[in-house]
Copies of this chain bind each other. A is one copy, B any other.
Amino acid sequence: MTHEIYPSREVIEAAHDRIRPFIHRTPVLTSATLDALSGAKLYFKCENWQKIGAFKARGGLNAVLSLSEQDLKNGITTHSSGNHAQAIAYAARQVGAKAYIVMPDNSPRVKIEAVRQYGADIAFCVNTPEARQEAVDRLVEQTGATFIHPFNDYRVIAGQATAARELIEEVGTSLDVVMAPVGGGGLLSGTALAARYFSPQTTVVAGEPEGAADAVLSFRSGQIERAPYVRTIADGLLTPLGTKTLPIILENVKEILTVSDDEIVAAMRLLWERMKIVVEPSGAVPLAALIKHKERFKDQRIGIILTGGNVDLGKLPF
């Protein structure tokens, strides 16, 4: 297994060069309507148009492309109900490696189909952290595949950091704030490092669903905490932070703001109705946080990472 290196500036730049041929440089959209509505100047980094429909393609690719030929021969495995599963399946296909994906049996239909389309083997399990890990451990034992964690992996974090790097390249270092949602913290820690290296005066603020409010507690206590309860429409943000993401977040993130599911759905509706773009609930969380606290962001220049667009159209909240 390759060595994981802490994502320094150079590590993130190298990750960017490594994945660039396989990703889209997604556009940054603005909206006069949403600017007027929020009182801020907003720059949306459209990772809903990224390969596989989400930023996770970046981290998955960087991890897979970092593996040795010997590692790739035995394949790659991970567990994920969502975008990371697609990211690993997509990345594996790019390098001609086998992907073994453990998915909870209640995963969204559209995500299962997508993983299958990338040619991955899917093993289903019940949706508990223990069952997922057990299924992956079994696959590693049987195949020798390399396990790539969805977020607690420096290679994944370095890959996710490239979204904010592109946003900063595009909009410039005059951004006052970059916002991202937080689940396991892969995107948030990468975003925070990208801001630190490439636009040091830009602060990083996260949005988190009230129904998965572990990161805000961890941010306060300095330890990995569990959410008091888990029930939210933002199904990409359910997991607690990891041992690698928490320290980066503690050091480089200014604040974590929580929002209710009603606020998430209202923000999602704005993105769909006013900007005519399909964004998944998790991707609407930062905008929901900004609107909830708009007096605090008044007249500022805010970059927002729209994380993904993989929604089950049969189960919309409207």
Task: Point out residues on A near B: beta carbons under 8 Å.
Answer: 48-49, 53, 110, 269, 272-273, 276-279, 309, 313-314, 316, 318
**Contact of B309 with A276 in the complex, beta carbons under 8 Å:** yes
**Contact of A276 with B316 in the complex, beta carbons under 8 Å:** no
Residue in chain B with minimal CB distance to A50: B276
Chain B residues within 8 Å of A276, by CB? 48-49, 53, 277-279, 309
**Contact of A273 with B316 in the complex, beta carbons under 8 Å:** no
A288 to B190, CA, bound (A): 41
- Quick one: which of B273, B278, B316 contacts A277, CB cutoff 8 A? B278
A289 to B314, CA, bound (A): 23
A279 to B110, CA, bound (A): 19
A204 to chain B, nearest CB (A): 25
A166 to B244, CA, bound (A): 49
Q: Say whether chain A's binding surface is mostly helix, strand, loop, or mixed.
A: helix
Copies of chain A in the complex: 2
A227 to chain B, nearest CB (A): 29
**Contact of B273 with A313 in the complex, beta carbons under 8 Å:** yes
A278 to B278, CA, bound (A): 6
Other than A49-B276, A269-B313, A276-B279, give 15 A-B pairs with Cβ distance below 8 A. A48-B276, A53-B276, A110-B273, A272-B278, A273-B278, A273-B313, A276-B277, A276-B278, A277-B277, A278-B278, A313-B316, A313-B318, A314-B318, A316-B316, A316-B318
Chain B residues within 8 Å of A53, by CB? 276
A189 to B272, CA, bound (A): 30
A29 to B184, CA, bound (A): 33
A276 to chain B, nearest CB (A): 4
A318 to B110, CA, bound (A): 13
Chain B residues within 8 Å of A278, by CB? 272-273, 276-278
**Contact of B272 with A313 in the complex, beta carbons under 8 Å:** yes
A33 to chain B, nearest CB (A): 9
Chain B residues within 8 Å of A273, by CB? 110, 278, 313
Chain B residues within 8 Å of A269, by CB? 313
Residue in chain B with minimal CB distance to A273: B313
Chain B residues within 8 Å of A318, by CB? 313-314, 316
A68 to chain B, nearest CB (A): 30
A276 to B283, CA, bound (A): 13
A175 to chain B, nearest CB (A): 23
A189 to chain B, nearest CB (A): 25
Chain B residues within 8 Å of A110, by CB? 273
- Most B CB contacts (10 A, CB to CB) among A48, A53, A276, A313 go to A276
